[in-house]
Amino acid sequence: MEDSTGAAWRVRVRTAGSIERDREALARLVDEDQDPAEVGYYEAVSDPDARAMNRAQRSYAGQYERRLRRLSDRARNSERPDLSD
């Protein structure tokens, strides 16, 4: 069954890590041996559009998770009885 809420996508995006970290690791590998496959991977993750898309996806997933936490906290706080009386 497909997750229609997007929770699985957000978890995948948040746990995948940053494309920047992958780019730095590939840069070190390319500096060492110039393997054509590694060069191709480095060029793919160095693409400005790919980097911008990764940042946007990670930002959206993080913002959404923070929003869910805030809504949960508000709901939890609204269920507590008022003790000020």
pLDDT tens digits along 29-60: 899 888 899 899 999 999 999 999 999 999 99
Strands (E) located in 1-85: none
Answer yes or no: is 79 within a domain. Answer: no
Answer yes or no: is 22 within a domain. Answer: yes
Taking Cα atoms as reference points, which of 49, 3, 43, 8 lies closest to residue 23?
43
Answer yes or no: is 1 within a domain. Answer: no
Answer yes or no: is 24 within a domain. Answer: yes
pLDDT of residue 1: 46
**For the chain, counts of helices (H) and of strands (E):** 4, 0
Answer yes or no: is 49 within a domain. Answer: yes
Answer yes or no: is 31 within a domain. Answer: yes
- Domain containing 22: what range? 18-67
pLDDT tens digits along 6-37: 888 888 888 887 888 888 888 998 998 888 99
